[in-house]
Amino acid sequence: MRKVHFLTLAALLALVVSGAGAAFARQTTSLVLMGWSSSPEENNALNRQVEAFMEAYPDIEVEVNLVPDYDTTIQAAFASGDPPDVFYVDSSKLPDWAEAGVLDVGTEKIEDPDGFYQSLVEVFTYNGEFYCPPKDFSTMTLQYNKDMFDAAGLDYPTADWTWDDLRAAAEALTGTNDQGQTVLGLVTPPNFERWLPFLYQAGGSVLNEDWTEVTLDSDEAREALEFYVGLVRDGFAGPPSAVDAGWGGEAFGEGRVAMAMEGNWVITFLLNGYPDLNWGVTELPAHPSGGEATMAFTVCYGVAADSDNQDAAWTLANYLTSEEGARMVAEEGFGVMPPRVALADAWLAARGEEFKPFIDVAEVAHKWQFPVGFGDVIDTFNAGLQLAFEGQALPEDVIFETAAAAEEVLSR
Amino acid sequence: MATAAPAVRRQVTTMSAKRRQEALAGLSFMVPALIIFLIFLIIPIGAAVYISFTDWNGISPVFEEGAYNYIGTANYSDLLRGYHVDGDRVVAASIRQRDFFIALKNTFYYVIGVVPVQTTLALLLAVIVNQRWLKAKGFFRTAFYFPSITSSVVISLIFMFMFTRGGLVNQALASVVPGYGSGNYVNWLDDPRGVLHLIFGQFGLTRESAGAWAGQRVLGLTGWEWISGPSVTLLTIMMLNIWTTIGTMMVIFLAALQDIPGHVYEAAEIDGANAFQIFRRITVPLLRPTIFFVVTLGLIGTFQVFDQVYVISSGGPAKTTLTVAYMVYQNGFDRSAMGLASATAIVLFVIIFVFTILQRVVVRERAAV
């Protein structure tokens, strides 16, 4: 018995020593890359990127860890002081994480920053420092159901459309379908980010440039919200739940609305889920005075301030967002668009020319990012907007209350 | 007598030595459980109390220098003051205070609605499946218990399918209720209107006709807001919770029912008591400790309602499903305010504690009568 024990022990020891020896000989650095999973196709593309990286840098080993409930998971990892080396950073989370000091500053370390869309560089610049290289981005555009427009004898929406055209078309397209269900002209989710383009188109803003003053309480804001709420109160538009859908893309795919305002995520959703749907894309309508605007949603690769292998981590982040690295994703033609201007053509070639409006509007896209603690303001607005849709609150009161909430958050 | 005494004493000493040994053995058996209890319960509770007095954002590494500052009871006053005084000016409640009282209001309606209904229905079901004449008892017991062992997230998702505007529930109602059709479907999952407000509206009582008290602010909310009742969406979540928890409570009642000796019933029957009298005078009094247990479980469970809200509504529409437990999560993970989240959790603990004690006192007094 004892002999057997001794033998096992010796074998184990030998294994451990040889293993350690091998690791010592290769001198590899191990990195953990944490993110969330959007689709199997995108995960595969990321894995291919990472494999190509490990071939190019044999001394760095990368473990990809895509987790559900990402925000909670990574916050716990930050708080414990043992975060992943490289991880996704949503634009809306950047201020919180930069303030908390968990992000390494990339100003000196990000390669070829001029090749990115400058609007994206601005999104990930906080207090004058460029924190992380953008991974990809999405913009909001107008999707329209061609069959419904044909049936109503209307011309398809164009980039020259104004609010008035949108309203007139929404009115004409509202009705009932074969099954007697309500069909609305436009789906208007009760969310701050869906309304913001209208605010920006009207020339309004939420905060001033350096986030020190609230500028929301303005005639432009009231005009924009009255227009948005007016569509609903007059019955030409409604939230997704009014047409039995969970979100705008579903309402559009099911044919319960003629137009939707979604971002790039809607592309693969509609192509895979509703292959027979006959639909097109154009820019959001402009304010009658000509003001154009939309929203951009984007994610970057952050490097942890607490990472033990920061140099290797930056090598990885830079590789994934370089022209060579990002091209691998761009050529797959997913919904989301590559962060570098030079790759726009590769994406269009893979995805199709008809999706060009998503790229065209990048110039007028505003960032989806507010100061720390702004969730309280967004919730105040969304709650007010829902009541306004029901006719239980006035747009001007919603604007007033939201502005007051913003004042309070800024003064915290 | 005199000769027996030493023998007894000797026996006592051996007993105590044995007992010490037993105690040691017992303790060593308990150690693993105690360690787990300490690490996963006592230390986190202590940490939550400590963090509730800091401004920790929940992101900065907690053991690093400067991750948080001690700010005294500021988090608590951030939550609890219905107003605050700025110089000689009374300033209306801040967002956090309003949110807290909204959450408190929603949670109270939730508890008041769910606990009595689930206790009564569970008792009723237990009595039914305990009947001797019932056939296929095993089937019914399993069927009623089944929701309780299914993941609440899965059940919430299925409820979402059933309760969407064009879903099964509305279609079923439309085929039964005259005049109910796709034009006036209830939007179960996205309707912020308060149920009591709707009922008052039927009697002509609205915000405008209610008089001055409706505009009076008490603890951050107007009188009219306080009497809203649960919103339609919260009501849906309440029904979901009642349905899923009844099973567990039924099993507890069933166990207690089978503990009641049959001769008590026989005696009552011989004395000429009818079924209702037996239930009222024999079953319920003998079940009193069980009722206390079930109501306590119900109180704690409902005050902590989180997962259904997280899956179905995220606190919306218009904050009408924002519960205190969900607010803890929201402050900790959406708002980067873990200190405030911890304070909210401590306040929730105090509320549950007070209600459990209150309920204990009430049940005891009724037992004494």
**B255-287 pLDDT, tens per residue?**
999 999 888 888 988 998 888 888 888 888 899
Residues in chain A with CB shorter than 8 Å from the CB of B63 are 81
CA distance B64 to chain A (A): 8
- Range of the structural domain that residue A214 is part of: 141-295+370-410
Position B211 pLDDT exceeds 80: no
What sign does the CA torsion over B144, B150, B151, B157 have? negative
Tell whether A13 is covered by a domain: no
Q: At what angle do helices B288-303 and B338-368 cross, to 10 degrees?
A: 160
B62 interface with A at CB cutoff 8 Å: yes
Structure tokens at A83: 């975060």
Tell whether A9 is covered by a domain: no
For B127, B198, B260, B269, B284, the CA distances from B276, given in Å and listed in that order, are 12, 36, 17, 11, 11
Position A155 pLDDT exceeds 80: yes
Band (pLDDT 50/70/90 cuts) for residue A279 is very high
Check whether residue A302 and residue A285 sit in a common domain: no
CA distance B115 to chain A (A): 28
Tell whether A395 is covered by a domain: yes
Check whether residue A191 and residue A283 sit in a common domain: yes
Burial class (CB in 10 A: 0-12, 13-18, 19+), A78: buried
Residues in chain A with CB shorter than 8 Å from the CB of B182 are 180-182
Higher pLDDT, B167 or A215: A215
Nearest to B95 among A241, A243, A405 (CB): A405
Check whether residue A46 and residue A103 sit in a common domain: yes
Which one, of A236, A294, A289, lies nearest residue A261 by Cα?
Answer: A294
Structure tokens at B275: 């079924």
pLDDT single digits (tens) A71-98? 999 999 999 989 999 999 999 999 999 9
How much is the average pLDDT of B84-99?
A: 69
pLDDT at A96: 93
Residue in chain B nearest A92 by alpha carbon? B334
Tell whether A3 is covered by a domain: no
Position A202 pLDDT exceeds 90: yes
Cβ within 8 Å, pair B59-A81:
no
pLDDT at A179: 83
Helix (H, G, I), strand (E, B) or coil at B217: strand
Burial class (CB in 10 A: 0-12, 13-18, 19+), A165: middle
Residues in chain B with CB shorter than 8 Å from the CB of A373 are 335-337
Cβ within 8 Å, pair B59-A386:
no
Q: Is the CB of residue A125 less than 8 Å from the CB of residue A138?
A: no
Tell whether A262 is covered by a domain: yes
CA distance B130 to chain A (A): 42
Higher pLDDT, B313 or B93: B313
Residues in chain B with CB shorter than 8 Å from the CB of A391 are none
Check whether residue A220 and residue A263 sit in a common domain: yes
Cβ within 8 Å, pair B317-A80:
no
CA A11, CA A3: separation in Å to the nearest integer? 12
Position A12 pLDDT exceeds 80: no
Task: Name the least confident of A171-175, A405-409, B101-105, B216-220.
Answer: B216-220
Q: Give the helix/strand (H/E) hosting B296.
A: helix B288-303
Q: Which B residues in the span 277-316 are in contact with A, Cβ-Cβ below 8 Å? A: 315-316
pLDDT at B14: 60
Identify the domain boundary among A367, A382, A399: A367
pLDDT single digits (tens) A282-327? 999 999 999 999 999 999 999 999 899 999 999 999 999 999 999 9
Q: Is the CB of residue A131 less than 8 Å from the CB of residue A299?
A: no
A380 interface with B at CB cutoff 8 Å: yes
Tell whether A7 is covered by a domain: no
How much is the average pLDDT of B175-183?
A: 84
- HEC secondary structure over chain A: CHHHHHHHHHHHHHHHHHHHHHHHHHCCEEEEEEECCCCHHHHHHHHHHHHHHHHHCCCEEEEEEECCCHHHHHHHHHHCCCCCCEEEEEHHHHHHHHHCCCECCCCCCCCCHHHECHHHHHHCEECCEECCCEEEEEECEEEEEHHHHHHCCCCCCCCCCEHHHHHHHHHHHCEECCCCCEEEEEECCCCHHHHHHHHHHCCCCCECCCCCCECCCCHHHHHHHHHHHHHHHCCCEECHHHHCCCCHHHHHHCCCEEEEEECCHHHHHHHHHCCCCCEEEECCCECCCCCCCEEEEEEEEEEECCCCCHHHHHHHHHHHHCHHHHHHHHCCCCCCECCEHHHHHHHHHHHCHHHHHHHHHHHHEEECCCCCCCHHHHHHHHHHHHHHHCCCCCHHHHHHHHHHHHHHHHCC
| Percent share of chain B, pLDDT over 70 | 91
pLDDT at B152: 87
CA A403, CA A175: separation in Å to the nearest integer? 36
CATH number at residue A68: 3.40.190.10
Non-local (6+) Cβ contacts of B225 within 8 A are: B102, B105
pLDDT single digits (tens) A113-137? 999 999 899 999 999 999 999 999 9
Strands A257-262 and B84-86: unpaired
pLDDT single digits (tens) A223-259? 999 999 999 999 999 999 888 888 999 999 999 999 9
Position A15 pLDDT exceeds 80: no
Tell whether A20 is covered by a domain: no
Check whether residue A172 and residue A209 sit in a common domain: yes
CA distance A369 to chain B (A): 14
Check whether residue A404 and residue A259 sit in a common domain: yes
Opening angle at CA A123, ends B331 and A330, nearest 5? 110
Residues in chain A with CB shorter than 8 Å from the CB of B57 are 96, 99-100
ipTM score: 0.82
The count of domains in chain A is 2
pLDDT single digits (tens) B128-156? 888 888 888 889 888 889 888 888 899 99
Q: Is the CB of residue B205 less than 8 Å from the CB of residue B85?
A: no
Non-local (6+) Cβ contacts of B139 within 8 A are: none
Non-local (6+) Cβ contacts of B297 within 8 A are: B248, B249, B252
Check whether residue A258 and residue A406 sit in a common domain: yes
Nearest to B95 among A239, A376, A386 (CB): A376
Check whether residue A268 and residue A388 sit in a common domain: yes
B220 interface with A at CB cutoff 8 Å: no
DSSP B103-159: HHHHHHHHHHHHHHHHHHHHHHHHHHHT-TT-SSHHHHHHHHHHHHHS-HHHHHHHH
The DSSP code for B253 is H
Can you give the length of chain B in residues? 369
Check whether residue A385 and residue A286 sit in a common domain: yes
Position B368 pLDDT exceeds 80: no
Tell whether A24 is covered by a domain: no
Mean pLDDT of chain B: 87
Mutate to test the interface with A, among B95, B100, B224 (most CBs of A within 10 A): B95
Structure tokens at A340: 């570098």
Position A220 pLDDT exceeds 90: yes
Lookup result for tokens 């502005």: A403
Residues in chain A with CB shorter than 8 Å from the CB of B317 are 190, 383, 386
Which one, of A328, A360, A362, lies nearest residue A346 by Cα?
Answer: A328
Position B90 pLDDT exceeds 80: no
B194 interface with A at CB cutoff 8 Å: no
| Percent share of chain B, pLDDT over 90 | 45
Identify the domain boundary among A348, A367, A386: A367
Residues in chain B with CB shorter than 8 Å from the CB of A242 are 165, 187
Helix (H, G, I), strand (E, B) or coil at B194: strand
Band (pLDDT 50/70/90 cuts) for residue A101 is very high
Position B91 pLDDT exceeds 80: no
Non-local (6+) Cβ contacts of A154 within 8 A are: A169, A172, A173
pLDDT at B115: 95
Task: Name the least confident of A148-152, B82-86, B225-229.
Answer: B82-86
pLDDT at A1: 44
pLDDT at B13: 55
Nearest to B182 among A180, A372, A383 (CB): A180
Check whether residue A270 and residue A362 sit in a common domain: no
A58 interface with B at CB cutoff 8 Å: no
Cβ within 8 Å, pair B187-A101:
no
Check whether residue A307 and residue A290 sit in a common domain: no
Check whether residue A193 and residue A275 sit in a common domain: yes
